[in-house]
Amino acid sequence: MGSFNSSHIQQEEKEDHQNHPNNNNISDLQLYHHHHDVSDQPPLIMSTSPNISPTHLRHLLITCAELISHLDSPSANRLISLLSSNSSPFGDSTERLTHYFVKALSFRLNTNPNYSHTTICPMTALTTAASASASSSSNYLFPPMLLEEEDDNEETLHSCYLTLNQITPFIRFSHLTANQAILESIDSSHLSIHILDFDIMHGVQWPPLMQALVERSYNSPLHPPPTLRITATGRDLTLLLRTGERLLRFAQSLGLAFQFHPLVLNNAARPSDLISPSTLGLHQNEALAVNCVLYLHTLVTDDSRDLLLFLQKIKSLNPKVFTVANKEANHNNPLFFNRFVEALDHYGAVFESLEATLPPNSRERLAVEEWFGREVKDVVGVEGEKRKQRHERYETFWEVVLRRAGFENVALSPFALSQAKLLLRLHYPSEGYQLRILNDSFFLGWQNRPLFSVSSWH
């Protein structure tokens, strides 16, 4: 059985570096009116010393969302002004979280035709104030991406993905667990392995697997290292080719026979249209593994047929193993208010975990929080087909839809569990991270809230 030890984890790190006063009896609305005369227009200033407690900031955000759900945009807008003056991208986790939720709520008011636009707090003022707050203290490093709203592009996404992989355990935990499932499902007798990886990004998942395959062959002289082929999807051919070149160089350094095939997904084609033995160039003598880490939620729409078709086509390829990792949250609720509260709790836990493990002036922390802020903007600020972040929970959605498509759950092994525990102990020693098992699948979260799930299927 192949495995990962600390050297594999360190190698992945190297690869990453190379590629780069309060009364709880006071109601929320009473508190709102106490701090703000509704007839006034408050100055748009940022404060790093809020006079509202974290608990009441949360309650005021929920009150604001409730006002918006009732189409009371004037009241919501005045509350947004109060919240913006008590938030900052450089404060504690609650101030930072509030900052991004205020931006998302303001975006929703600005772009949704159901709301009046006469008194909406402009995002440019918020951003300018944030910049001024940053320049007033040399202790803060302000990444350029925080200074302006810009559309997501592949380069930005890839860069933030690498940073997230470096400073939090979530992606690395997903990669490590999925790789162990692949190793255990494809034994050393297979001479050829083909991995179909949806949305490969920088490919940081695969160098540790390559190394494990080679080391496993050292322990079984009768079985030489297999040939490895990766078919990888993405939306930018240039970035895909760069990823392939990096993986090829690493494979060559190990003496591992390796091929890389890019598969570009564009907005016109459905991913399921590209899933066929001929399109993928599948060979009968290959052991196939299909990998979807933080990808399947992009296929979730109001109509589940496309997602089900995609999964059924994956099943028809008869893979040895199908590894799946998702965010553990319900951000697909059709009701805005319910979706808002779910997002507030999910990202609140994420921001708390970042605060517990990184200093406040960490450039990497600021960049990752901005990335999560973009997700919040999508979950909270966008409706209909334009909303992309449609995360669902494992137990109530993914387990059901995967079984419906014909898959059976493969229990993740005790050894995989020990590897995940080792990862957390060596690199993320905070006691706040919690690893749990449910229905033969792994869940990594902060405190008592699961945030990511990993499962294996065939």
Q: Average the pLDDT over 426-443 and give the result.
A: 90
Is 44 or 79 the better-scoring residue by pLDDT? 79
Output the pLDDT for position 170: 94
Please, is 220 exposed, middle or buried when counting C-beta atoms within 10 Å of its C-beta (0-12, 13-18, 19+)?
Answer: exposed
Give the Cβ contact number of residue 2 at 10 Å. 22
Output the pLDDT for position 145: 34
Residue 193: closest CA among 179, 203, 204: 179
Q: Are residues 209 and 322 in the same domain?
A: yes
- pLDDT higher than 60, residue 14: no
| Token reading at 107 | 């975006």
Is 237 or 151 the better-scoring residue by pLDDT? 237
Q: What sign for the dihedral angle of Cα 95, 97, 103, 107?
A: negative
| Count of structural domains within the chain | 2
Q: Is residue 162 part of a domain?
A: no
Quick one: pLDDT band at residue 63, thresholds 50, 70, 90?
very high
> Which DSSP state fits 411?
P
> What Å distances lie between residue 103 and 33, 121, 155, CA to CA?
21, 9, 23
Output the pLDDT for position 43: 33
Q: Is residue 145 part of a domain?
A: yes
Per-residue pLDDT reduced to its tens digit, 118-150: 444 444 334 333 433 333 333 333 333 333 344
Q: Average the pLDDT over 319-333 and give the result.
A: 96
Full domain range(s) for residue 446: 6-15+168-331+389-457
Q: Are residues 398 and 378 in the same domain?
A: no
Q: What percent of the chain has pLDDT over 90?
A: 62
- pLDDT higher than 90, residue 34: no
Per-residue pLDDT reduced to its tens digit, 351-407: 999 999 899 999 999 999 999 999 999 999 999 888 999 999 999 999 999 999 999
Quick one: pLDDT band at residue 116, thresholds 50, 70, 90?
low
Q: Are residues 396 and 363 in the same domain?
A: no
Distant-in-sequence, close-in-space partners of 42: CB < 8 Å, separation ≥ 6: 36, 78, 81, 82, 85
Q: Average the pLDDT over 167-190 and give the result.
A: 94
Q: Is residue 161 part of a domain?
A: no
* CB-based contact 354:365 (threshold 8 Å): yes
Q: Are residues 95 and 54 in the same domain?
A: yes
Q: Are residues 231 and 185 in the same domain?
A: yes
Distant-in-sequence, close-in-space partners of 378: CB < 8 Å, separation ≥ 6: 387, 388, 389
Q: Are residues 246 and 258 in the same domain?
A: yes
Q: Are residues 207 and 326 in the same domain?
A: yes
Residue after which a domain boundary falls, among 386, 402, 417: 386
CATH number at residue 398: 3.40.50.150
Residue after which a domain boundary falls, among 386, 404, 421: 386
Averaged pLDDT score across all residues of the chain = 82
Question: Highest mean pLDDT range out of 28-37, 45-54, 175-184?
Answer: 175-184
- pLDDT higher than 80, residue 155: no
- For the entire predicted model, the pTM comes to 0.81
Query: Max Cα separation, the chain?
Result: 82
Q: What whole-number distance in Å separates Cα of residue 134 and Cα of residue 129?
A: 9
